[in-house]
Copies of this chain bind each other. A is one copy, B any other.
Amino acid sequence: MSDQNWISHFSGLAHLPPDVLASLVTASRVVHLPAGTRIFGPGQAPDAFLLLIRGTVRVQQVSDSGREIVLYRVSAGESCALTTACLMGYDDYLAEAISETEVDAVAIPRATFDDLIARSPDFRRFVFTAFSRRVTDLFRIIDEVAFSRVDVRLAQRLLERANTQGHIDLTHQQLASELGTAREVVSRQLNEFQRRGWISTSRGAVDILNSEGLRQLATAP
């Protein structure tokens, strides 16, 4: 298969001993997923540990009332460690993972994963690091949702998700999902930002005109 060299995408795996690498490469297979695939969710458990080679995956939570909040994104070179562990270890939870782009990933079967954890300190470090990064993300989200203002968080997200031209291809509803708030709230805040000359809006998109204004709000005390 053309992706035999996927190991090179993962800096954390670069120095594994040859036998460990061999197990990894022979036991795992590369999977391709189109954009918008639901990789797992309440009720669907993956049976393998996933490493992303290409694309990004969004992990989000959906409330009973239909409101959503984005928890974090997994990008190329990272692993879905957290969610895999959840499913390995314990009961049901509410998060779901959706590919945002076309995705290539390496699926390591559970048995191989377990074997590698046992054999390789480096692989363990790789997994635990991925874990703790996600946990840090979750701590940060709790902090933001519980204690931060929406305008500040929205400004942060706009800066975060803008491309190099300051363009953001998201609807108000999608921005609201990023923050776990309501669409109307985002609309009103964007109007305010626009009034201040920081952005311009169009159907399904936002353009940043004055990133300095946003940045100042985003880093406000």
A residues engaging B (CB < 8 A)? 61, 63-65, 67, 69, 71, 82, 85-91, 93-95, 114, 117-119, 121, 124-125, 128-133, 135-136, 138-143, 145-147, 180, 221
Contact = CB atoms under 8 A, between A and B. Distances in A.
Nearest to A69: B146
Nearest to A89: B132
Given A90-B136, A117-B117, A147-B63, A71 B142 contact: yes
A103 to B, nearest CB: 23
Given A129-B89, A132-B90, A65 B138 contact: no
- The interface centre, meaning the residue of A86, A114, A146 with most chain B CB atoms within 10 A of its CB, is A146
A149 to B, nearest CB: 11
Nearest to A126: B89
Given A94-B143, A117-B117, A118-B118, 14 more contacts: A61-B143, A63-B147, A69-B142, A71-B142, A85-B131, A86-B132, A88-B128, A88-B132, A89-B132, A90-B133, A114-B124, A117-B124, A118-B121, A147-B180
Chain A interface, >50% SS class: helix
A146 B63 contact: yes
Assembly stoichiometry (copies): 2
Contacts of A131: 85, 89, 131
A147 B182 CA distance: 10
B135 A85 contact: yes
A143 B136 CA distance: 17
Contacts of A95: 139
A1 B104 CA distance: 54
A62 to B, nearest CB: 9
A147 B67 contact: yes
